[in-house]
Amino acid sequence: MDGFTPWPSDLEARYKAEGYWGDRLLGDVLRGDPGRTALVAGAERLTYAELDRRADRTAAGFLRLGIRRGDRVVVQLPNTAAFVVTFLALVRIGAAPVLALPAHRDSEVRYLCELAEARAYVSAETDGGFDYRSMARTLPVEHVVVDGDAQEFTALADLDIDTGEEPGRPDRPDPSDVGVFLLSGGTTGLPKLIPRTHRDYVYNLQASAEVCGFTRDTVYLVVLPAAHNFALACPGILGVFATGGTVVLAPSGSPDEAFPLIERERATVCAVVPPIAMLWLDAATWSEEDLSSLALLQVGGAKFAAARAAEVPAVLGCAVQQVFGMAEGLLNYTRLDDPRELVERTQGRPLSPADEIRVVDEDGKSVPPGEVGELLTRGPYTLRGYYRAPEHNARSFTPDGFYRTGDLVRELPSGHLVVEGREKDQINRGGDKISAEELENHLLAHPAIHDAAVVGLPDPMMGERTCAFLIVREAALPGGGPALREIKDFLRGRGVAAYKFPDRVEHVDRFPRTPVGKISKKELAARLAAGRPDDQ
């Protein structure tokens, strides 16, 4: 596939010889007994046999539409059976789903369709009050497939029918093919696509399922978006399918929705971001639901404070596991038998013996053991390049193929990593990643805004919130410059996902600069922390 950076042949040979990469494809992950429940979603309950059949029929439906091996299809579905069926159907015919988040709007989805040259777009009809069909009308794709009332588009249900005719044998994908595209959290003006091959992603989910102790008795509650790497494959939905357990989809992590499902389905595992974990810790003290089935709470996406991690066993009655992962690949897990100290105070250690880790200073030299530096990594499930992004790749990877994570870590003698901060220009808002540059570019399009700088504002619940420092054009000054509400309306009008909206706007006359003349975001953050945002 053009725009995809393969692993060099010596590493490919090694990963194969050492058994990390096999021949299994993402479409073959359903390994449960045919009669057992694979998926519970709303009122739907599907056995492994039923899910397998629906995925196959829908795969035939996509083939009838003309979707083929190597095609890209942007998929934007909430946590519904349709997501799972569509994902399996596409990977079975070797068409790669490009996984947009349900929160994405026109600016993000259009860009994904263009970048991936997607042949089709699959969405819900409406969700959370938003009509995806109206957005779909102007997307640059040949086919729009809608789960629900499709209006002028193709209904997903119409793909899932037995026409009695052979759709033609699909071109079987190769394990080295790109199986799925994940979205990067982003540090640049435009989001990046992460190509994950069948074999690297299958290894990712199987090795994760092993480390997390998943079995056929695992009942995994999905509260994060299914399209996110954590919920999809770490071990996630696919890791459960590969070990024969049951996946239960919840619409969100709100205790009102999640707790009754835990009780009813006797859920044993759930993956959450820190704000949800903290919400659960509070809600568990007054909720009446029986959460006793819960054995493991995986927490990741942003740093989980040691003190809160320590509360989980007593309050929620289950073990806690910290997960420091990234859609680009590398996953760190605290192990189920790690001493309490490590589970509470670290973000885990690499999943694979073949993960290579370097912690380096600004010159790219390894720091002394135990000191803070930027984490670089390569391995059998870490990308070697973003899709169609040669310039960005030249900066994001070392010449010997290590991915620069932009995360600042400390490595303990045990190999566990402690996340100490971040070097990349990104806001981590409760696990949602916001590229400062992307948001700044949107803000600069506002007629009254002369310059913009976006920084994270520490927040006890979300970890960080987003603050936009704005320099207003002189002509706009009599009106005082756009307030937060106007900025949000403006961004909504541009089709920007709501999680990227600033939580706060500060008008300033000029930005503090570093000695080399760059905007000093450190200084801006320090002024915010000191309560003097417009200090000169």
Q: Which residues bind ligand J2J (CB under 6 A)?
A: 185, 229-230, 234, 300-303, 322-327, 331, 347, 405, 407, 419, 422, 428, 431, 433
3-state percent breakdown (helix, strand, coil) of the chain, nearest 5: 30, 25, 40
Q: How far is the CB of 126 from ligand J2J (least distance, A)?
A: 26
Output the DSSP codes for 344-358: HH---EES-TT-EEE
Measure the CA–CA gap between 526 and 524, rounded to whole angstroms: 5
Measure the CA–CA gap between 210 and 235, rounded to whole angstroms: 9
Task: Using the minimum distance from each CB to ligand J2J, give the nearer residue, 101 or 141.
Answer: 101
Task: Using the minimum distance from each CB to ligand J2J, give the nearer residue, 94 or 431.
Answer: 431
Task: Using the minimum distance from each CB to ligand J2J, give the nearer residue, 93 or 343.
Answer: 343
| Strand pairing class (432-435; 426-429) | antiparallel
Inter-residue long-range contacts of 16-20, CB under 8 Å, 24+ positions, other chains counted: 18/354, 20/203, 20/207, 20/352, 20/354, 20/380, 20/381
Q: How far is the CB of 93 from ligand J2J (least distance, A)?
A: 26
Q: How far is the CB of 69 from ligand J2J (least distance, A)?
A: 26
Q: How far is the CB of 483 from ligand J2J (least distance, A)?
A: 30
Q: How far is the CB of 264 from ligand J2J (least distance, A)?
A: 26
Q: How far is the CB of 78 from ligand J2J (least distance, A)?
A: 18
Task: Using the minimum distance from each CB to ligand J2J, give the nearer residue, 234 or 452.
Answer: 234
Q: How far is the CB of 428 from ligand J2J (least distance, A)?
A: 6
Could you identify the residue written with the tokens 């969100």?
Answer: 252
Task: Using the minimum distance from each CB to ligand J2J, give the nearer residue, 331 or 443.
Answer: 331
Q: How many CB atoms lie within 10 A of CB 531?
A: 7
Task: Using the minimum distance from each CB to ligand J2J, give the nearer residue, 271 or 505.
Answer: 271
Helices (H), 68-215: 81-92, 106-116, 132-136, 156-159, 198-211
Amino acid identity, residue 491? L
Residue 319 · residue 331 · CB < 8 Å? no
Residue 435 · residue 188 · CB < 8 Å? yes
Helices (H), 408-463: 436-444
Task: Using the minimum distance from each CB to ligand J2J, give the nearer residue, 243 or 346.
Answer: 346
Measure the CA–CA gap between 481 and 508, rounded to whole angstroms: 10
Closest CA to 253 of 238, 234, 267: 267
Task: Using the minimum distance from each CB to ligand J2J, give the nearer residue, 229 or 382.
Answer: 229
Task: Using the minimum distance from each CB to ligand J2J, give the nearer residue, 218 or 435.
Answer: 435
Q: What are phi and psi of 505, to 5 degrees?
A: -125, 135
Q: CB nearest ligand J2J: which residue?
A: 325
| Strand pairing class (426-429; 130-131) | unpaired
Task: Using the minimum distance from each CB to ligand J2J, give the nearer residue, 150 or 302.
Answer: 302
Q: How far is the CB of 261 from ligand J2J (least distance, A)?
A: 21
Dihedral sign (CA 106, 390, 95, 11): negative
Q: How far is the CB of 489 from ligand J2J (least distance, A)?
A: 27
Q: How far is the CB of 480 from ligand J2J (least distance, A)?
A: 36
